[in-house]
Structure 1
Amino acid sequence: MLQQFGFTQYESQVYQSLITVDHPLDATGIVKLSGVPRSKVYEVLHRLSEKGMILETTIEKKRLYTALPIESTIKKLKADFENNLEQLKKAPIKKAPSDDRVWTLKDNQSIQSLLKELLQKAEHSIFLSGWADDLLQYLPILEEKYDAGIHINIHVIGELSTKIPSVSTLIPDEQHANLERSRIMIVDDQEMLFAGIEEANWQAIRTQSRPLVKFFTEFFYHDVALTEITQKYRDTIMKDKNIRDVLLNLRY
């Protein structure tokens, strides 16, 4: 009867023997009705008493037992279950250890799906770099995360209309013909994904490796810095062939 609620078989048998009679029983009577060995019955009765499942009394030096009424038992079990749920909710959760392996992934659709999944999991910060027409599909997630108070930084090549304020924009011209398409994403300063095109096919790496996460975070700021420098000093840079050639060989 009670085993499905976490009680032992003997505890269930003793409770059932007491609930099915209309008078108290002593240990001998419980042994006869429940089938629990005499050597175990007092131990079982003690556990049931500690759990509040039986009532006890002593009459003329004789110890008698009766079961907690069934309606009271139902309310008690329900209250215990709900209390256990609350305790479970409050239990500290151990974070999974960081996976510092570098994983590779091919196929553009798979890369896009994984990137969206990682964006959805972001809790504190997102750094995202890419081309405007590519980043457009992630904009609803990014703006939803921004509304939720998550820090968003975007570096985009091309025009991208968004309410997110932290956007660095590079408008490419013929001088940037060699710019390669790529994506960089860093989530919560803990995980990064870098995707690029190799032999006309998208390929990506994903990792939680601290050195690589730090490197690509700095790489993101490198792109932002190059964009700001190019925009502010465009006329000077483009007139100086040596500076222009060096700068345009760098990836944004």
Structure 2
Amino acid sequence: MLETFGFSYYESKVYETLAASDAPMDAAMVVKHSGVPKAKIYEVLSRLVDKGLVLDSVSDKKKWYTALPLNSLVDKLTAQFQQNVETLKSSLASKKVRDDRIWNLKIASSIQAQSMQLIRHAARSIRISAWNDDFLTYLPLLEEREREGIEVEALVVGKLESQLSRVHEMLPAEEHEGLERYLLIVADQEEIIFAGEEDGDWQAIQTRAQPFVKFFADFFYHDVALARITQKHYDLLLGDEEVRQMLIRLRY
């Protein structure tokens, strides 16, 4: 009977023998009625005691054994099964294979749709960087997500009016006219979309590969730091032509 639940043949025979008896049995009696070899009986009984299927007691200098009642055994096996199911679920959930592939995406409308989905499904945080007129497409949804408790931080190229609490502005210099636009979204520090415009056409990559996610998250904060430093020390930094040209190369 117990073999169905992963117990050995001998363990099953011993339990069935004890369960069928109206009185406790000693090892010799178990051997006689179960057919389990005498050389194995103490080992089998010990395993069943350790597993909680058999109770043992010492009386009159002799060890006696009795089976866990059937109803209790059913409850025990049911609870153990449920625990094993939960352990399995937890194990499988923690071992999900991350999709580390890098997906290529073209067409501005498709990139925009995927970006919206990434923003919509973020569970904890959103980092987004874009030029101000492109940023307006995502602004209502970003404000909604922030109201829902998602941490939103934005870096905008150009001026922007918004209700977002953490917006950094990077103001282009005259030398930046005609430079290609870009869009960066980092969701939950787990997935990114990076898109760029070249000759009027948009292309993007989307990935969960952690080296890329970390690189672009660092890229975002690099630009945030650069924007804040430049704003704070604008006259000092941009008054030096050599520093000015260096900042232009760093920022774009």
Tell me the TM-score range normalised by the shorter chain.
0.5 to 0.7
User: Partner amino acid for 2:210?
Assistant: Q
Change (3 A) 1:246 1:55: closer
Contact 1:183 / 1:195 at 8 angstroms: preserved in 2? yes
Give the deviation of 1:50 after TM superposition.
2.2
Superposed displacement of residue 48, structure 1? 1.5
Count of aligned positions: 231
| 1:219 partner amino acid | D
Cα RMSD (Å) = 5.1
How far, CA to CA, are the matches of 1:37 and 1:169 in structure 2?
A: 83
Cα contact 1:156–1:169 (8 A) shared by 2: yes
- 1:27–1:64 contact (8 Å) kept in structure 2: yes
Counterpart AA for 1:132: F
For 1:154 and 1:196, how far apart are their aligned partners in 2? 17
> Residues of 1 paired with 2:54 and 2:168: CA distance?
71
Q: Does residue 1:68 correspond to 2:68, yes or no?
A: yes
User: How far did residue 215 of structure 1 move?
Assistant: 3.2
CA-to-aligned-CA distance 1:193-232 (integer Å, 9 cap, x gap): 4221345242226453355542342034445677x68xx9
Aligned pairs for 1:91-240 within 5 A = 103-107=102-106, 109=110, 112-113=113-114, 116-117=117-118, 120=121, 123=124, 125-130=125-130, 131-136=134-139, 138-139=141-142, 142-143=145-146, 147=149, 150=151, 152-156=152-156, 161-162=162-163, 164-168=164-168, 178=178, 180-187=180-187, 192-198=192-198, 200-204=201-205, 206=207, 207-209=209-211, 210=214, 213-222=217-226
* Contact kept? 1:19, 1:67, Cα under 8 Å: yes
Rounded Cα–Cα distance in structure 1 between residues aligned with 2:37 and 2:154: 73
Alpha-carbon shift at residue 43 of structure 1 (Å):
0.9
Q: Which runs of 5+ in 2 are unaligned?
A: 239-244
Structure 1, 133-142 or 8-17: larger mean CA deviation: 133-142
- SS at 1:25's partner residue? coil
Q: Percent identity?
A: 34
Residues 10 and 213 (structure 1), Cα distance of their counterparts in 2 relative to 1, 3 Å cut: farther
In structure 2, C-alpha distance between the alignment counterparts of 1:211 and 1:143, rounded to whole Å: 24
Would you say the 8 A contact 1:107–1:203 is kept in 2?
yes
> Against the structure 1 CA distance between its residues 86 and 223, is the aligned structure 2 distance closer, same or farther, given a 3 Å change threshold?
same
TM-score (norm: length of structure 1):
0.60
Q: Deviations over 1:21-70 (max 9, x none)?
A: 32333334434554544332211211221233212244555533211112
Q: How does 1:39-50 map to 2 (within 5 A)?
A: 39-50=39-50
Question: Is the partner of 2:219 in helix, strand or coil?
Answer: helix
Gaps (5+ residues) in structure 1?
238-244
Alpha-carbon separation, structure 1, partners of 2:56 and 2:247: 88
Q: Are the aligned partners of 1:54 and 1:67 in contact in 2 as well (CA < 8 Å)? A: yes
Any conservation in 2 of the 1:111–1:204 contact (CA below 8 Å)?
Answer: no
Is contact 1:127-1:185 (8 Å) kept?
Answer: yes
For the 8 Å contact 1:10–1:44, the answer to whether it is kept is yes
Contact 1:56 1:64 in 2 (8 A): yes
Deviation string 1:114-143 (CA, Å, 9 cap, x unpaired) is 7745874554x4321122243247527732
CA distance in 1, matches of 2:14, 2:206: 61
Q: Match for residue 38 of structure 1?
A: 38
Distance 1:112 1:50 in 2: 59
Give the match's secondary structure for 2:104: strand
TM-score by length of 2: 0.60
Go from structure 1 to structure 2 and tell me whether the alpha carbon gap of 1:179 and 1:144 turns closer, same or farther (over 3 Å shift): farther
| Aligned match of 1:13 | 13
